[in-house]
């Protein structure tokens, strides 16, 4: 007799993974959650008394080949948190607070222990961001993924009052640009980073590199930060005219996404100190400045545009979280939606 397990799909392992995950997800539930894990769909009730004209904001993303570092190191808890924080930032830049999250984990052969570790990171970040993990999918697809490998994706829904949507339309020449630091590569540029560190430099994940001050694995697994705690006070005072999450494409490609017609940006690259990982990447890989600023965030994970007269107030509010050191990194100028580096 042939069964599904002989084909590579273990239904019992899937059930065990769900059993392990259920408690993690339930620990993130907020007042709006109306369903349990295991339902065909997740139910969430919006607090209608809190908003006059609520607008839902959604996004979906992954963590790219950063997952290769998780496979090489055997550390699977941080990439789940990276996924959540990336998605939180993507809707934050439009002024939205997260409501709920769904995750998707696909693998060739399901390991309930690894799935639990990944989702534990998802759940931890959801709790930290006040976001409920209300559902997801765990797919076992033998022959599609190499043994020991998986892919994850996240789907987030948040809400913003219509009158408080941040879309960059109010940005004008003379406005200030404030940068919030990143913790490292966050979740982009890993294909190039792996080529430089592993192929060109010949390092392993456990290689300690003096210039980095840590191992390659630790440097590349540095967490993708959530900027919600720092930015939340600005949302309450409507001080941000536009915000850009600096992900794939770097500052060069992401900052222009929020600029209105007739506006460009000037960035003073000497206004912040780049983390060691970027300096080592550029030196070891012999990478040009232009390529570095398109491939990596270069130490700036989020850029905020505000009136120049409000810049000091914005910096002060951003510093209230106590974990980040914001700084003025440039200004808006007349231009054609491009970035000039000074």
Q: Give percent above pLDDT 90 in the chain.
A: 75
Mean pLDDT along residues 34-43: 85
Q: What is the sign, positive or negative, of the torsion defined by CA atoms of 155, 320, 332, 223?
A: negative
- 138 lies in the same domain as 223: no
Contacts with 140 (C-beta within 8 Å, 6 or more apart), sequence order: 8, 9, 10, 13, 14, 106, 107, 108, 109, 110
Dump pLDDT digits (tens) for 292-310. Answer: 999 999 999 999 999 999 9
From 144, 164, 184, give the residue that closes a domain: 164
Categorize the per-residue pLDDT at 24 as very low, low, confident or very high, splitting at 50, 70 and 90. confident
pLDDT of residue 21: 73
Task: Work out whether strand 176-181 and strand 97-107 pair parallel, antiparallel, or are unpaired.
Answer: unpaired
Name the residue range of residue 39's domain: 5-164
Q: What is the pLDDT of residue 28?
A: 87
- Is the CB of residue 95 less than 8 Å from the CB of residue 236? no
pLDDT of residue 108: 86
Strand partners, 303: 179, 244
Please tell me which residue, 13 or 331, carries the higher pLDDT value: 331
Same domain (yes/no): 132, 192 = no
Please report the pLDDT score of residue 11 as a whole number: 56
- Only one residue has tokens 């987030």, namely 156
Do 19 and 158 lie in one domain? The reply is yes
Q: How confident is the model at residue 195 (pLDDT cuts 50, 70, 90)?
A: very high
Quick: pLDDT tens for 60-105.
Answer: 999 999 999 999 999 999 999 999 999 999 999 999 999 999 999 9
CATH number (domain holding residue 305): 3.90.650.10
Residue 169 covered by a domain:
no
Average pLDDT over residues 125-135: 95
Please report the pLDDT score of residue 110 as a whole number.
79
Q: Are residues 42 and 97 in the same domain?
A: yes
Confidence of residue 6 (pLDDT cuts 50, 70, 90): very low
20 and 115 inside one domain: yes
Give pLDDT tens digits for 210-239.
Answer: 999 999 999 999 999 999 999 998 888 889
What proportion of the chain, given as a percentage, has pLDDT over 70?
94
| The predicted structure's pLDDT at residue 7 | 45
Q: How far apart are CA 309 and CA 176, in angstroms?
A: 8
Q: How far is CA 40 from the centre of its chain?
A: 27
Question: Under the phi-then-psi rule, with left for phi > 0, alpha for psi from -120 to 50, and beta for the rest, what region is 129?
Answer: alpha
Which of 132, 164, 196 corresponds to the end of one domain? 164
321 has pLDDT over 80: no
| Rg from Cα positions in the chain | 21
pTM: 0.92
């Amino acid at each position: 007799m042939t069964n599904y397990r002989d084909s590579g799909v273990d239904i019992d392992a899937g059930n065990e993974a769900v059993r392990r995950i259920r408690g993690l997800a339930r620990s993130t539930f907020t007042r709006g959650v109306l369903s349990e894990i295991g339902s065909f769909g997740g139910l969430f009730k919006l607090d209608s008394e809190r908003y006059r004209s609520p607008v839902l904001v959604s996004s979906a993303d992954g963590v790219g080949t950063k997952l290769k570092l998780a496979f090489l190191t055997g550390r699977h808890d941080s990439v789940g948190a990276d996924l959540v924080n990336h998605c939180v930032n993507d809707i934050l830049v439009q002024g939205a607070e997260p409501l709920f999250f769904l995750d998707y984990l696909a693998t060739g052969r399901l390991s309930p222990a690894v799935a639990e570790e990944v989702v534990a990171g998802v759940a931890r970040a959801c709790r930290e961001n006040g976001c409920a993990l209300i559902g997801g999918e765990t797919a076992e697809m033998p022959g599609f993924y190499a043994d020991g490998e998986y892919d994850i994706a996240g789907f987030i829904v948040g809400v913003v009052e219509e009158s408080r949507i941040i879309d960059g339309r109010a940005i004008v020449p003379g406005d200030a640009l404030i940068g919030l630091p990143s913790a490292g590569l966050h979740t982009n540029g890993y294909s190039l980073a792996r080529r430089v560190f592993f192929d060109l430099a010949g390092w392993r994940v456990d290689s300690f590199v003096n210039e980095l001050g840590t191992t390659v694995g630790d440097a590349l697994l540095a967490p993708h930060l959530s900027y919600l705690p720092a930015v939340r006070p600005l949302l309450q005072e409507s001080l941000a005219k536009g915000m850009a999450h600096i992900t794939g494409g770097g500052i060069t490609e992401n900052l222009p996404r929020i600029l209105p017609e007739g506006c460009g940006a000037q960035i003073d690259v000497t206004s912040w100190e780049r983390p060691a990982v970027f300096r080592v990447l550029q030196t070891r890989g012999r990478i040009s400045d232009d390529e570095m600023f398109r491939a990596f965030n270069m130490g700036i994970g989020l850029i905020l545009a505000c009136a120049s007269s409000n810049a000091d107030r914005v910096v002060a509010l951003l510093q209230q979280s106590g974990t980040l050191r914001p700084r003025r990194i440039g200004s808006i100028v007349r231009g054609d939606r491009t970035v000039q580096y000074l």
